[in-house]
Amino acid sequence: MKARVYVMLKTGVLDPQGEAVRHALGSLGFDGVQGVRQGKVIELDLADGTSEDEIGKMCDKLLANTVIESYRIEVL
């Protein structure tokens, strides 16, 4: 079984990488971009029967810094 975890900075947390991307896009002529938030996608190849709760525990313990990041799990 496969799962995909999307990790993003929480609203209100500064995103310097996203701001750098927004600035670079503006420099390339894409003036309509008002904001960019950058995150990460983690794909997991798991044993059949792994619960979404167990995946959540993986996120809480290692895959996301839950103080400043939120995550969303997608079981494929």
Could you list the residue range(s) of the whole structural domain that residue 20 is in? 2-75
User: What CATH number has the domain bearing residue 44?
Assistant: 3.30.1280.10
**37 pLDDT tier (thresholds 50, 70, 90):** very high
Summarize pLDDT for 43-75 with one digit per residue, the tens: 999 999 999 999 999 999 999 999 999 999 999
pTM: 0.85
Strands (E), 1-76: 2-9, 39-45, 69-75
CA distance 16 to 36: 10
Tally of domains in the chain: 1
